[in-house]
Amino acid sequence: MKTIVHIGMPKTGSTALQACFAKSRQELASHGVLYPENVEGCPFKNHRLLVGSFLKFGSMPRHIQSREEYTKENIDEKYREFVDHVHVQIDRSSPEAMVLSSESLFRRIPPHKYRPVRRMFDRFGHETRLVAYLRRPSEYFVSMLQQNFRASHEVKQPVGPQFRAVLRSYLECFGVPVVSAELFHRDSLTDRDIVSDFCARYLREYGVRARKLRVPEHANESVGSESMDILARYRQSFHAERNNVATRDTMELFRELTRADRKLGAGQPRLRPGIADLVDLSRDDPLWVRDRFGVQFPDFDYARLEKSGAKRADQGQWRLEDLVEIDRELQRGIFAELERSEWAASDTPRREWVNSALKGSLADAL
């Protein structure tokens, strides 16, 4: 059996891919492909607990640490339960291939964990293939900004992701033939879709066709720059001491903001002029993935990076409005929508916070 492990990276359609495969288990199984279910009671739709093969609880993603089901004391047991449950499904269905997926796997494996990680995957099947989709650094950065404000008010530094450190650790752990990297760009994907592209590249030999799979609607919502700023302001006002801790009220606010954005026609977040280059040229990783995997980001200034080398931005305190364009009039309209929402009406401090924002100067930066 071949084990195909999709490791992200984050913000490359992973949620859509996982939601589709979770809804399409029966169709996949009819072609001999297993997309394993998690242990009953597990809150995740992906295979995030695989990080237990190389991370201790304190280093695991906040999605795991913030869940009451998982603690420092029980995480090893939960990881073993997950792995055992996967083996039960393999033994029951005898698939030709198995797909595992979690963007949480897109992190560097410590060298002393190479052997246990490799052993875990070898126990699943005789062949392993690891797949990462890579996104242009500046596009990834603006998408991660939005993700960040769902659990924090702190503004991320304008720097690109560490493709090389992550992928090099997988190359050292598994070997060159096992690890693949693909470009995540709508124009480069089969049918401009991550599910179609993954199926065409890695499941075609089993007869899987994306058009036969069930695609859930709104697998991952997003908001514009104005709502990102509102999220950051709310987190600073109500959860300043709970950095990297997701809360129910913040997620409820995020859902209200997605509705307001759709109603008012808010666009996607836009980096200010010059910021995209600042992020894209902050590391030489794009040169490495181009030369190692042949992944080239469209319209990327490789010549400039080769000539001048990577340069990091000032690591001082950045404000959100330094990084993205914010339409304050549109933002006022979004606040007005919030004022009329049940989210604000049901809680006095929230209602007072929204009213204060509408009466004050929205241009006051965080």
C-alpha dihedral (196, 201, 205, 206), degrees to nearest 10: -40
Residues 347, 62, 134, 214, CA torsion sign: negative
Say which DSSP state 281 is in: T
Q: Model confidence at 361, in pLDDT bands (50, 70, 90)?
A: low
88-97 residue pLDDT tens: 999 999 999 9
Over the stretch 142-157, which tens digit does the pLDDT of each residue have?
999 989 999 999 999 9
Query: Which amino acid is it at 191?
Result: D
**Does the structure show a pLDDT above 50 at 257?**
yes
SS3 2: strand
Is 48 a residue whose pLDDT tops 60? Answer: yes
Mean pLDDT of all residues in 213-230: 84
Give me the residues paired with residue 133 across strands. Answer: 182
Tell me how far apart the terminal alpha carbons of the chain are, to the nearest angstrom.
53
Q: Is 50 left (phi over 0), alpha (psi -120 to 50) or beta?
A: alpha
pLDDT for 317 equals 85
- Is the pLDDT assigned to residue 340 strictly greater than 50? yes
Give pLDDT, residue 218: 56
Contact yes or no for 127/1 (Cβ under 8 A): yes
Residue 9: asked if its preceding bond is cis (omega within 30°), the reply is yes
Q: Is the pLDDT of residue 363 over 90?
A: no
* Residue 122 vs residues 114, 116, 176: alpha-carbon distances, Å: 12, 10, 16
pLDDT at 365 over 60: no
Is 194's pLDDT higher than 80? yes
What was the pLDDT predicted at 246? 86
Angle between helix 163-174 and helix 285-293 axes, rounded to 10 deg: 40
Q: What's the average model confidence in pLDDT over 52-79?
A: 94
How many CA atoms, within 13 angstroms, populate the side-chain half-sphere of residue 233?
21
Q: Say whether pLDDT at 366 is over 60.
A: no
Q: How confident is the model at residue 220 (pLDDT cuts 50, 70, 90)?
A: low
